[in-house]
Amino acid sequence: MEGEKQYLKNMTRGELAGFFSEMGEKPFRAAQLFRWMYASGAASFDEMTNLPAELRRRLSETAELFTLTPRETLISRIDGSRKHLFETGDGNLVESALLRYDYGNAICVSSQAGCRMGCAFCASGLSGLRRNLRSGEMADQLLLARRELGADVGRVVVMGVGEPLDNFDELKRFIETAGDAEGPGIGRRHITVSTCGLVPGIERMAEELPQVGLAISLHAPNDRLRDALLPVNKRYNTESLLKAARAHLARTGRRVTFEYALMAGVNDGAACAKELARRLSGMNCHVNLIPLNRVEETGFGGSGGAETERFRAALAACGVRVTVRRGLGADIRAACGQLRARAGY
């Protein structure tokens, strides 16, 4: 609409060049602005000192530098993880989590405001889907968290609120921006996308984003159990999902990660471990076990330490690569499955 400010981070480099052309400016201004936004993390147009003062004034009148406004930051007293709450221009709330590891910092980015997948144990979909996030809104989660932290963020996992492959085109634009050497410079091999099982999206990833890591939220070894936990399984069943995973591996040569949230008395028994090992036999994959993090409304409980170790050992004995994920950020409701976009804990 006329008079409405433009969100610059929602534009590709080419679109930025077109934006400047409409302003009567040279296309190289787009490259300068891109570097200021993504490499320098400029907080205002006034910081962009190689842009003429008149252009900076016009930009402040016609464009927005940030797509998100920070609202709250919570910091774990246990492990230093941070949960960031942001507000979009149209009033939606978005959360991301910044996780501290020995090898560096990683950010867990949300791809949607809400989620329509309805996984039975997850907080993110409790209020349904409000809308997809734009690429700039995903990028700002990274840039604003990095600016507040005052340190580099070397890895991105798109497994916050939302189903990334339900928003594939904007996801792809974000990944292209994040990996740009003139911007954040996070290589695609340091980016992982998590899906609950959208098979067409997995197929698109293999073709269009072959260097990006794929993580599949499996959580059950068979259709009976997976149907109850992840409604998406009624569209793309376990067999079709594992077939897509094998095809992705063959196409990209990249090992697939399977995420498996252990729920007490639900999917953590010896029979489930045996069936899971059988179904993954011969695949170059890695199973990431996650003792379920508590979400009050779901009624599920996480498996205890002994049950988790028994499950891990059973998979390992069958030759499956398996580890247990650290539960970072659980005390601030920032751990896997707990993000939901609300203020406070």
| DSSP 8-state class, residue 304 | -
CB contact at 8 A, 120 and 167: no
Residues 225/254, Cβ–Cβ less than 8 Å: no
- Tokens 């920070």, residue? 70
Instruction: Spot the catalytic one: 108, 196, 285, 336.
Output: 336
Task: Copy the structure tokens of residue 92.
Answer: 């939606």
Q: Provide φ and ψ at 262, rounded to 5°.
A: -85, 120
Which tokens belong to 194? 């998590």
Are 134 and 85 in contact by the 8 Å Cβ rule? The answer is no
- Is 95 annotated in the active site? yes
Chain centroid to CA 164: 7
Asked if residue 7 lies in contact with residue 16, where contact means CB atoms within 8 angstroms, the answer is no
Do 254 and 211 contact (CB within 8 A), yes or no?
yes
Scan for tokens 């063959």, then name that residue.
Answer: 250
Task: State which amino acid sits at residue 148.
Answer: E
Question: Is residue 336 annotated as a catalytic residue, yes or no?
Answer: yes
Looking up tokens 């492959």, which residue turns up? 165
Give the separation between CA 83 and CA 327, rounded to whole angstroms: 14
The Cα 23–Cα 258 span in angstroms is 48
Rounded to whole angstroms, what are the CA distances from 198 to 61, 146, 185?
41, 30, 28
Catalytic residue among 47, 64, 95, 182: 95
Residue length of the chain: 345
Active site residues: 95, 336
